[in-house]
Copies of this chain bind each other. A is one copy, B any other.
């Protein structure tokens, strides 16, 4: 009997964890600089809450189960629904409520290099403000996270669900089809124009409507020109006009926050059903094949849908697995192999207990250290420490104990000096 981690999940050993912790810490720090405050919810939720507004595709991907009392539960597939549930249940929470969550989520998807079934997300959300500045603040914060991690060549794609609604109204699509169409459009990058056309045919959209839709959504270029052209096109279609106004505010706000790489992209739709206004996605230009590294948008109806008061809300989610992967493949920073600073080695078994006493002293001073636990000779101990990547070893023998001076070995430089313990402590601190 041997067991692997279940398909689509991963174990993370220390080297990988040091990277993950660094990325998480960096992200958390930027989130907090923007005034977002931490929030955590259970890994599973009432299945009905999860299914309320996720959309057909995601509904199929939820890990579902019953607890022993017969409650129907599911592992959360995102961090927005649990947040909306909390806000719905706690109308007394002061607004705007600015929260961040860094947590794993689960979706049963086809596993690829960029897509796992268990994956880490880092979300920020602003609840209670209908001001577009809130949306832009979320985008700005996500951008600063990426910058803090060393990302350079990325692009923020912006669209608005209301504009998409307006376009569909313009070309006379029955409203019930809108969400299905959004989910198809959202796959453009992955399945290409022909793929999208085929899927639109499959949901019975007429050929001429498909043609018109594809023409409009694939327009790209200077946002002001496109907005102006679109204003004429959607003239008189209220929802579309609203969406365009929102987009204008988003781009104005972008200037205020000095976000330089925002692009208007009518083909951006996002896969989840709960969006109601501006939507955004961040793409690393050199890594388009792995999809977006962040995405989000405004979801003004979700909290009401989960039993709360009508409450405007917006947020963005960083895809941490992809971000971590890129920091690795693109060597965005170097990290030590281990956090252990010094290995306290014993010359022979007789002085073993002295190494423990010394190690305890070092630990009290906040110096991360390890002692031998395997009755190995000195050479083997040094080899072990070197293998772990520990930068220093401190060698304890009877002679050293008498002299009250110990050999401190720099494992990289291969140098050593004999000094007193208090000096060693100063040096290692």
Contacts and interface: CB of A to CB of B under 8 A. Distances in A.
Contacts of A117: 67
Nearest to A81: B3
Given A41-B5, A85-B3, A33 B368 contact: yes
Contacts of A307: 1-3
Nearest to A370: B35
A23 to B, nearest CB: 13
Contact of A42 (B11, B30, B34, B69): B11
Given A67-B6, A99-B14, A369-B33, A357 B256 contact: yes
A300 to B, nearest CB: 15
A352 B49 CA distance: 37
A179 interface: no
Nearest to A29: B366
A349 to B, nearest CB: 11
A131 B356 contact: no
Interface in A200-234: none
A114 interface: no
A335 interface: no
Given A3-B49, A7-B69, A94 B388 contact: yes
A187 interface: no
A332 B4 CA distance: 42
A155 interface: no
Interface in A7-38: 7, 9-14, 17-18, 20-21, 29-30, 32-35, 37-38
Most buried by B among A9, A39, A308, A373: A373
Contacts of A46: 3-4, 6
Contact of A368 (B32, B340, B367): B32
Interface residues of A, number: 99
B21 A38 contact: yes
A137 B220 CA distance: 62
A328 to B, nearest CB: 16
Contacts of A375: 131
B67 A39 contact: no
A3 B373 contact: no
Contact of A37 (B14, B98, B308): B14
A336 to B, nearest CB: 11
Interface in A86-132: 86, 88-89, 93-96, 98-99, 104, 106, 108, 117-118, 126, 128-129, 131
Interface string A331-363: 000000011100000000000110011001011
A63 B52 contact: no
Most buried by B among A40, A96, A363: A40
A307 B71 CA distance: 35
Nearest to A342: B35
Question: Which 6 residue pairs spanning A and B have beta carbons closest together?
Answer: A35-B370, A65-B65, A2-B307, A9-B42, A14-B37, A17-B38
Interface of A: 1-7, 9-14, 17-18, 20-21, 29-30, 32-35, 37-46, 48-49, 52, 63-65, 67-69, 71, 73, 75, 82, 85-86, 88-89, 93-96, 98-99, 104, 106, 108, 117-118, 126, 128-129, 131, 133-134, 137, 140, 144, 256-258, 305-308, 338-340, 352-353, 356-357, 360, 362-363, 366-371, 373-375, 384, 387-388
12 contacts: A1-B305, A2-B89, A5-B45, A5-B85, A11-B82, A14-B99, A32-B368, A33-B368, A35-B370, A35-B371, A43-B75, A44-B118
